[in-house]
Structure 1
Amino acid sequence: MTTEFVPYLAYDGDCESAFKFYEKALRGEIVAMLRLADAPPDVPRTPETANRIMHARLKVGDRVLMGGDAPSGLASKPQGFCVSMQVDEPVEAERVFAELSAGGRVMMPIGPTFWAQRFGMFTDKFGVPWMVNCEKQPG
């Protein structure tokens, strides 16, 4: 049996903007972006909610990040988790950290630690907490 855990992020109307931002920063590809307007007619929506994203999927290499806009009035601030990103090269870790943290709030600037060549923590401009980690090479 194969099990994979995939972060599914909830937004309050800005999922599309967030995923386009991530697509650029992570050099990925949005492979799904479904709006309430795309759903069958029996799915409840109003003219104000028709453009909300029901489901988005971003592919980065062989990994996936998914999300959508929470139903109107039910969005909540993310807490108790972060998206942890493992990066192979220090230069790439620094680039990703700089791009994703732009406009957000840095809690720990990226730099070397006792376990990593580079590690940093931030909350992006959409309120999603992230960690970027580039582990030390064994040896």
Structure 2
Amino acid sequence: MQLNHYLNFQGNTEIAFNFYKSVFGGEFLNLMRYGDLPAEDGIQLSETDKQKIMHISLPINEFTTLMASDVNEQFCAQTNQPFTVGTNHYISINLASSEQDQAKQLFDALSKDGTIEMPLDKTFWGALYGAFTDQFGIKWMVNCQLENE
């Protein structure tokens, strides 16, 4: 299991991460834009929003990866969570495919009496993923990469 920091930005993720890359060095491990979403998701995005970052990750060292995405108005409306500087941070729990039971256990235990943003479920990027705010107001993500099926 690995715990990482997951940041949300309001349209300037790419600028921020190019800055972080200049400070920490290294190369981006993943970079996906909202325009990469599968068409069957039915999300209508402007050409500007399609260029925004859906997910980016920058390994800092062997133990830590800094990750982020741009939050758009449509996402905020769907999740009923407005973007607020200062609360735009998640703790991301990342597990291997062999740890699916642990992912479910951690998601259920940590989200108890909290607010589920996205139920733990399979995603188009090949992971078991869910997000929530715990009963103390801390935002969490659980991501368990699944083996290629």
Q: Give TM-score scaled by structure 2 length.
A: 0.48
CA separation of 1:69/1:80 partners in 2, compared to 1, >3 Å: closer, same or farther?
closer
Identity of aligned residues (%): 25
What RMSD over aligned residues (CA atoms) do the two structures have, in Å? 2.5
Q: Which amino acid aligns with 1:56?
A: I
Work out the CA distance in 2 between the residues paired with 1:47 and 1:67: 20
Larger Rg belongs to: 1
Matches within 5 A, 1:1-139: 3-43=1-41, 44=43, 45-62=45-62, 63-72=64-73, 74-79=82-87
Whether the 8 Å CA contact 1:29–1:60 is kept in 2: the answer is: no
Work out the CA distance in 2 between the residues paired with 1:35 and 1:22: 18
Q: Which amino acid aligns with 1:34?
A: M
Work out the CA distance in 1 between the residues paired with 2:86 and 2:26: 23
Work out the CA distance in 1 between the residues paired with 2:88 and 2:72: 21
3-state SS, counterpart of residue 42 of structure 1: helix
CA separation of 1:80/1:20 partners in 2, compared to 1, >3 Å: closer, same or farther?
closer
Whether the 8 Å CA contact 1:35–1:53 is kept in 2: the answer is: yes
Whether the 8 Å CA contact 2:7–2:88 is kept in 1: the answer is: no
Runs of 4+ in 1 over 4 A off after TM superposition: none
| Structure number with higher helix proportion | 2
CA offset digits 1:14-51 (Å, max 9, x no partner): 00111111011011221111101111113412223111
Per-residue deviation at 1:4?
A: 2.3
3-state SS, counterpart of residue 58 of structure 1: strand
Work out the CA distance in 2 between the residues paired with 1:54 and 1:39: 9
- Unaligned stretches of 5+ in structure 2? 77-81, 90-149
Q: Give TM-score scaled by structure 1 length.
A: 0.51
CA offset digits 1:66-111 (Å, max 9, x no partner): 0100122642112497xxxxxxxxxxxxxxxxxxxxxxxxxxxxxx
- Unaligned stretches of 5+ in structure 1? 82-139
